[in-house]
A and B are shown apart, each in its own frame.
Chain A
């Protein structure tokens, strides 16, 4: 017993090293799972407040550009509003609308922390569970998609960026309708790879890529980017397509968080379909 204790004491440096290394690698592995709550991230009290006050200062430098984007968006929305349509007929009917039911609601938020140069990138937003944000909600900007909410605290949330190896979004070619999944390969932050588009489809450079709406996170038809280059490989029935993201993630400051009001219903019906298959 004495010799064992002596052995531990003599080599305590190595043992402490192994212990701490196992703890931290364990944290990494545990955190790699897509959905996990942990207090040691940028949504905790100290980190989020430091980042928030920093973004209050740094926000001033992007004000001009942000105002421009918001003004453009306002103009676009205003042109779609009822007031900008002239009345065409005098005898119009008043009816309760039962054809349209609202499926998505949007909440605006500011980016207070952002990165693009790592293999796995995250953003932090200044809204959290108190404002109704839940994990797995989609995040878009006025120019394109940004990511998916991963973790929330009362006033902040961490967003898995499209520049993350776990992030894949079901997307389709706007004019063809063929769908595939978009993944970032970790090299250029402005370019992603679109997989699973069969190579009999005619794809042209500059084609628009949008979300497919199959995922219940993003609505149908949100712009992702434009086809940059197309490669056909021998023996591979699918194209390798590079997509130029429509938004510059490095500069994004105002975003919208999407709440899908039908999400639970959709997941329930899909799960019960799965289960009834398994039962048979």
Chain B
């Protein structure tokens, strides 16, 4: 358990620094900004109580906000992501339910399951984030296109990271 906590803290710090120092400086054509830090929430095991996940989401979002001067925006989007996660895992459950001790990774549950799971959650997070950033619906088309393009790149990075960490899945 203690080694788990250590792994999570290191992963938290690594992803925050990666996001703040590297990814926030990547600006492809002025529209695309991947938010890879959500991977931290996506990788949390199923056994962690849902309310603890919510609080972790809030803290993660606040830390990212601190660095980007967008106080509250990432926090609210992350909390929304944490709220949606149990429902997505519930409706996306594989036939026969989850095996005991399975974690939300490509290795344990397969690429198809993982793409649905992270795709939906990343899209919801970006949707919430970009609309709370603009705070109005008037430029709807331009905002929604940013959501789609950025979600796609975040998802790409998330899946790539999975392969980097765990190697090829089953």
Give the B-binding residues of A (Cβ under 8 A).
Answer: 12-13, 16-17, 20-21, 23-32, 38, 40-42, 44, 46-47, 50-51, 54, 113, 115-120, 122, 124, 158, 186-189, 250
Contacts and interface: CB of A to CB of B under 8 A. Distances in A.
Interface SS, B side: helix
Given A40-B66, A120-B70, A28 B132 contact: yes
Contacts of A116: 27, 30
Given A27-B72, A46-B66, A50-B20, 11 more contacts: A16-B51, A20-B54, A20-B58, A26-B72, A27-B71, A40-B66, A41-B69, A44-B66, A51-B20, A113-B67, A119-B133
Interface of B: 17, 20-21, 24, 27, 30-33, 50-51, 54-55, 57-58, 61-62, 65-73, 75-76, 79-80, 82-83, 86, 132-135, 139, 142
A265 B125 CA distance: 48
A25 B72 contact: yes
B50 to A, nearest CB: 5
Nearest to A122: B69
A122 B17 CA distance: 19
B82 to A, nearest CB: 8
Given A42-B66, A54-B21, A250-B27, A24 B133 contact: no
B79 A21 contact: yes
A54 B135 CA distance: 31
B67 A42 contact: yes
Contacts of A122: 68-69
Contacts of B70: 118, 120
Contact of A115 (B24, B73, B75, B76): B24
Contact of B68 (A16, A42, A44): A42
Given A17-B79, A21-B79, A118-B133, A40 B27 contact: no
B79 A117 contact: no
A188 B80 contact: no
Nearest to B80: A21
Which of A17, A23, A32 has the most chain B CB atoms inside 10 A of its CB?
Answer: A17
A21 B139 CA distance: 24
B71 A28 contact: yes
B124 to A, nearest CB: 13
B61 A24 contact: yes
Nearest to A118: B133
Contact of B50 (A13, A40, A186): A13
B31 to A, nearest CB: 7
A28 B73 contact: yes
